[in-house]
Amino acid sequence: MKLRRKVLFVIVTVLFCIPIIEIGFRILLNLTGSDVVTVLPAKEVLEKAWFKPHPHLLYVFKPNSFFTMNAFGKHKFTINKHGFRSTLDYDIQNVSKPPNTLRIATLGGSTTMGVNDDKEIWPYLVGKFLSEDLQNKNIEVLNEGIMGYTSLDNLLDLSMRIIDFDSDVYVIYLGVNDLLPKAPLNVYQTDYSHFRKTLHENLYSSHIQFLPSILLHLKTFRALLQLSGVPDSRNLILNTGTGQFRNYFNVVVPEITIHAL
């Protein structure tokens, strides 16, 4: 009986202290203007995210979605029904190409995806200018560009998704992202497996999936997870391992200055 009472006392004490510690910690965060990582189960991450996992690609966009990204000045991003950034009037409507159509596929990272509004990205402008010059042709532009993609990601995407659309012209525009996997020779792998995993692997292999949801809503518990190196669930790049890799090997993307001719 004494042991049972002691166990019960400990349980009651812990349950009483947890809310007090949590409230105190939240007040401290508010006073200091800081916060802890948001850690969510994969299901909740995907419900809130503008991206989704793919078993073979790094990640892909959610079809028929809209979002803004604060990092890029709250510009509007429209994703079409095929899961690519929309080129609006020049979007591909069907996989099969209509007669008298010039179809162009643009591939790359964020510089092809575009970080401006839908009507300011270069794949859209390609469609606009060509439709003005080639008025007897129907112009369609598929914008495959996705933030963080390397040339290897583009090649894989081309072989699995883009090839189905049977484009007439393929334009690839990137470069900086291929500097990110830089590593010592004893670490570097030509398939970039040393660099990161797909979002699908990271989300579903994480031990976070096995934790009770109530724990993940406690900021004190999330602070402990943060100290152990668990990334913010909302951070797309961290959840593919890119951020940790760059920090570990001190990979810095050089500033590139473009001079007008």
Query: Do 137 and 101 share a structural domain?
Result: yes
Residue 73, CA distances (Å) to 76, 140, 177 in order:
9, 28, 21
Query: Do 127 and 105 share a structural domain?
Result: yes
pTM above 0.85, yes or no: no
Nearest to 231 by CA among 64, 242, 220: 242
Query: Do 137 and 68 share a structural domain?
Result: yes
- Is residue 187 in a domain? no
* Per-residue pLDDT tens digits for 107-133: 999 899 998 889 999 999 999 999 999
Residue type, 196: R
* Per-residue pLDDT tens digits for 151-162: 999 999 999 999
- Is residue 147 in a domain? yes
Nearest to 160 by CA among 57, 7, 6: 57
Listed in sequence order, the residues at least 6 apart from 8 whose beta carbon sits closer than 8 Å to its beta carbon are: none
Nearest to 203 by CA among 3, 6, 47, 5: 47
For residue 206, what pLDDT is reported? 60
- Is residue 185 in a domain? no
- 3-class SS of residue 258: coil
Instruction: Give the CA diameter of the chain.
Output: 91
Average of per-residue pLDDT values in the chain:
81
Kindly state the tokens that stand for 15: 């349950």
Structural domain boundaries, residue 21 = 1-34
Kindly state the tokens that stand for 238: 């961290």
Query: Do 116 and 49 share a structural domain?
Result: no
Q: Pick 38 or 191 by higher pLDDT.
A: 191
- CA atoms of 251 and 229, how far apart (whole Å): 19
Query: Do 149 and 77 share a structural domain?
Result: yes
Query: Do 42 and 30 share a structural domain?
Result: no
Query: Do 43 and 27 share a structural domain?
Result: no
* Per-residue pLDDT tens digits for 223-258: 888 887 776 666 655 555 555 445 554 544 444 444
Residues listed for the chain:
261
For residue 195, name the pLDDT band (cuts at 50, 70, 90): confident
pLDDT above 90 (res 187): no
Query: Do 91 and 41 share a structural domain?
Result: no
Question: CA angle, corner 236, sides to 234 and 241, nearest 5?
Answer: 120
- Considering its fold, how many domains does the chain have in total? 3
For residue 180, name the pLDDT band (cuts at 50, 70, 90): confident
* 220 neighbors 21 (Cβ within 8 angstroms): yes
- Is residue 190 in a domain? no
For residue 207, name the pLDDT band (cuts at 50, 70, 90): low
Query: Do 64 and 149 share a structural domain?
Result: yes
**H-helix or E-strand containing 108?**
strand 101-108
Query: Percent of the chain beyond pLDDT 90?
Result: 34
CA dihedral angle for residue 179, residue 180, residue 184, residue 190, rounded to 10 degrees: -80
Query: Do 174 and 144 share a structural domain?
Result: yes
Of 57-66, 189-198, 232-241, the range with the highest mean pLDDT is 57-66
- Beta carbons within 10 angstroms of residue 57's beta carbon: 18
Regarding beta strands 60-61 and 51-52, do their DSSP bridges make them parallel or antiparallel, or are they unpaired?
antiparallel
First-to-final CA distance of the chain: 88
